[in-house]
């Protein structure tokens, strides 16, 4: 049994520890052994915290033996992306120049998970500054997808997604500015939650030194990745607590008011993008069938001003984001791969913005209001994450039409960030050896509706991971 503990989810591990089926030390040892066995093929876990993790596990077992209070994640291992503050570890953003940036305290969501008994066992890989769509950098190197070494694990939470998919961690903590949780979840066949803007408090050393650009403040959120939806639900509850460091945190209830049944779900298909691949479309239909079986009502339709919302997102990140304010400094600190990716996509980014707006944030309000009214009738949206299957590693170094197609494929990803809406990515099957995934977008602060629907899909279609690393 001990050798198979890495196959279990976070809730299952917590329940097993509480019932004394196994110890926290056995759980942590099993995951460290799994890292020993498979990480060399993937390069997903970049920093190991073995000594401290085993010490924490022994302390957790002692606390249980002496009748102390047990938190909801008592003795359960987690992994943490390298751009999130973890006390005593370095917040490198996978940039060589920042490899000595040691965090003096935990980020709010990490502090909350530790208070619930979670044990960090490692840090995970990401592209430099979290900007690329593929996980590679000069400091740590590239992460490979466990479904195929020639495929990208996604970015920017690609290390987390690969680690979870391969069983090295039951629960990972990442962030999402333009799909950085959901795209890796799609690539690696796991589930991930991008919460509503304001749901989970966000703070780190960089914010203390200088205020982040407006687009980062409004579009980037912290969230969990896992193999089971119930693990996302528990992580969300724990991570949603108050913080004195985030002025945008909102004390919204985890469960919203009851809505009329059957819940109407807008399936976005034909208008999701002109390059919707057949395998992705089949996955959406498979998810729709599962939801119908669960009692949901599916209607194919398109949200208001979808294309314009995506265009305004890209305009916003250039006018109020890192690309305008910090590009010179970031290029100087990052590797040639970072610069090559930006150069390859620069024209595509510009084209994706569409007709220039006098103020994209001002125009955002009218679209957000239209969506709010429209989602009274459609509280959930079933849509592709991207319209492409997991692409080949390094695809984001190609420019031209490939870059244009990629930008078009992202519209249903970036609109959730632009409007501050919650979204759950969930796997729906496998096609030609690669995972298929969809996302469920809800109204603001209705993560519960997204999680309920994702769990209904999971119960009917099953899970795809953990998997052993596969060759090309």
- Domain for residue 468, yes or no? no
**Looking at residues 29-48, what average pLDDT do you find?**
98
- Domain for residue 467, yes or no? no
Tokens representing 166? 């391969």
Residue 81: active-site member = yes
User: What does the pLDDT look like over 312-346, one tens digit per residue?
Assistant: 999 999 888 865 456 777 888 888 889 999 999 98
Residue 325: active-site member = no
**Looking at residues 413-441, what average pLDDT do you find?**
97
Number of domains, the chain: 1
Catalytically annotated residue among 156, 157, 169, 185: 156
Catalytically annotated residue among 24, 180, 335, 409: 180
Q: What is the pLDDT of residue 333?
A: 87
Catalytically annotated residue among 14, 81, 194, 409: 81
Q: What is the pLDDT of residue 274?
A: 65
- Domain for residue 21, yes or no? yes
Distances (CA, A) of 359 to 312, 362, 404, 468: 9, 5, 24, 48
Helix, strand, coil % (nearest 5) of the chain? 45, 15, 40
Asked whether residue 3 carries a pLDDT value surpassing 80, the answer given is no
The closest alpha carbon to 48, from 202, 156, 159, belongs to 159
- Domain for residue 24, yes or no? yes
- Domain for residue 472, yes or no? no
Distances (CA, A) of 76 to 15, 115, 152, 171, 233: 10, 12, 28, 9, 15
- Domain for residue 466, yes or no? no
- Domain for residue 303, yes or no? yes
Is pTM beyond 0.85? Reply is yes
User: What does the pLDDT look like over 153-208, one tens digit per residue?
Assistant: 999 999 999 999 999 999 999 999 999 999 999 999 999 999 999 999 998 887 66
CATH at 122: 3.90.1300.10
Residue 87: active-site member = no
- Domain for residue 471, yes or no? no
User: What does the pLDDT look like over 256-271, one tens digit per residue?
Assistant: 999 999 999 999 987 6
Q: Which domain holds residue 352?
A: 2-461
């Amino acid at each position: 049994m001990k050798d198979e503990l890495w196959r279990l989810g976070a809730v299952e591990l917590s329940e097993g520890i509480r019932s004394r089926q196994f110890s926290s030390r056995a759980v942590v040892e099993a995951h460290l052994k799994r890292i020993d066995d498979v990480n060399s093929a993937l390069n997903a876990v970049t920093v190991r915290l073995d000594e401290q993790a085993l010490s924490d596990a022994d302390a957790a077992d002692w606390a249980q033996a002496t009748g102390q209070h047990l938190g909801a994640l008592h003795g359960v291992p987690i992994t943490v992306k390298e751009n999130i503050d973890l006390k005593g570890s370095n917040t490198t953003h996978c940039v060589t120049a920042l490899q000595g940036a040691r965090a003096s305290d935990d980020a709010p969501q990490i502090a909350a998970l530790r208070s619930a008994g979670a044990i960090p066992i490692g840090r995970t890989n990401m592209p430099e500054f979290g900007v690329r769509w593929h996980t590679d950098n000069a400091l740590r190197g590239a992460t490979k997808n466990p479904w195929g070494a020639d495929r990208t694990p996604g970015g920017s939470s690609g290390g987390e997604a690969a680690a979870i998919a391969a069983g090295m961690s039951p629960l990972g903590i990442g962030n999402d500015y333009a799909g950085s949780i959901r795209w890796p979840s799609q690539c690696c066949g796991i589930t991930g939650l991008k919460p509503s803007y304001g749901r989970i408090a966000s703070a780190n050393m960089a914010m203390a030194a200088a205020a982040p650009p407006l687009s980062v403040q409004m579009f980037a959120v912290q969230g969990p990745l896992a193999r089971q939806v119930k693990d996302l639900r528990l992580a969300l509850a724990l991570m949603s607590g108050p913080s004195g460091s985030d002025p945008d945190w909102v004390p919204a209830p985890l469960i919203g008011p009851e809505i009329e049944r059957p819940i109407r779900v807008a399936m976005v298909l034909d208008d999701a993008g002109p390059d919707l691949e057949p395998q992705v479309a089949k996955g959406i239909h498979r998810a729709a069938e599962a939801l119908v079986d669960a009692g949901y009502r599916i209607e194919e339709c398109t949200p208001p001003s979808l294309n314009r919302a995506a265009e305004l997102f890209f305009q916003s990140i250039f006018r109020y984001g890192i690309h305008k304010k910090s590009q010179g400094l970031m290029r100087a600190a990052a590797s040639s791969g970072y610069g090559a990716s930006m150069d390859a996509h620069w024209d595509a980014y510009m084209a994706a913005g569409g007709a220039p707006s006098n103020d994209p944030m001002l125009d955002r309000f009218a679209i957000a209001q239209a969506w709010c009214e429209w989602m009274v009738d459609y509280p959930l949206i079933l849509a592709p994450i991207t319209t492409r299957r997991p692409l080949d590693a390094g695809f984001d170094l190609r420019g031209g039409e490939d870059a244009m197609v990629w930008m078009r494929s992202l519209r249903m990803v970036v609109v959730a960030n632009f409007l501050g809406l919650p979204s759950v990515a969930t796997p729906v099957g496998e096609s030609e050896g690669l995972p298929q995934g969809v996302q469920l977008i809800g109204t603001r602060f209705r993560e519960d509706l997204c999680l309920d629907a994702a769990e209904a899909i999971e119960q009917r279609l099953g899970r795809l991971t953990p998997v052993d690393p596969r060759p090309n």
